[in-house]
Amino acid sequence: MFSRLPVTVPPPLLLQALAQIKDSDWHNHFNRDYYSGEFEGREDFIARRLGKLLQLGTEHCREFTGLAINYHELPGAMEGRLAGFFALSAEQRTLVFSAVHQHAKQPAETFVADSEGKQQEASARLRECVECWAHGPYEALEQWRTASCGKGACSRWAAERP
């Protein structure tokens, strides 16, 4: 089960910024109540924050009939479910998805999935914290995603468009 957890979600810049904060300074920089109490270092903070983001993602998907996409569905979902979700016309689909296979951060390069390598870089402590704090919220979001896959989930925004 653990291999499916999104330990690669925090982008490198976020991790770099978090790494510069000394362990003793964590409570001075962040609202402890938001993260449900005391935390033990960067890995615990990252895992709790990831869990909270996943929880909020699930709540927003439910409230606004959102569409959850798993990283492993990309870039294929861009041409299928996402195009329908945003109610794009044929012309808009051609424009928007002409760049779907480009690397988002380096457009001159082709998109290549790199989550496996990033997961291998995660420390044992980070994996333990992610299992503790993000596993439940991740499973809830995955449950929403798989349940909504065949239902033609549509956003309120797309439904309201002319």
| CA 50 to each of CA 2, 24, 114, 115, 120: distance values in angstroms, whole numbers, following the listed order | 14, 21, 19, 16, 18
- Residue 64: how many other CB atoms lie within 10 Å: 11
* Domain-embedded: residue 162: no
Q: Is 21 exposed, middle or buried (0-12, 13-18, 19+ CB in 10 A)?
A: middle
pLDDT in the model for residue 138 = 94
Is residue 3 assigned to a domain? no
Give residue 36's pLDDT band: very low, low, confident or very high (50, 70, 90).
Answer: low
Query: Domain containing 139: what range?
Result: 51-147
For residue 32, being part of any structural domain is answered with no
pLDDT of residue 7: 42
The Cβ of residue 113 has, within 10 Å, a number of other Cβ atoms equal to 10
Q: Which residue has the higher pLDDT, 111 or 116?
A: 116
Determine, yes or no, domain membership for 8. Answer: no
DSSP 86: T
pLDDT digit string, tens, across residues 43-93:
998 899 899 899 988 998 888 888 888 877 777 777 777 888 888 888 888
Q: Flag whether pLDDT at 128 surpasses 90.
A: yes
**What domain count does the chain have?**
1
Q: Give a yes or no: residue 20 inside a domain.
A: no
Residue 126 in contact with residue 58, Cβ under 8 Å? no
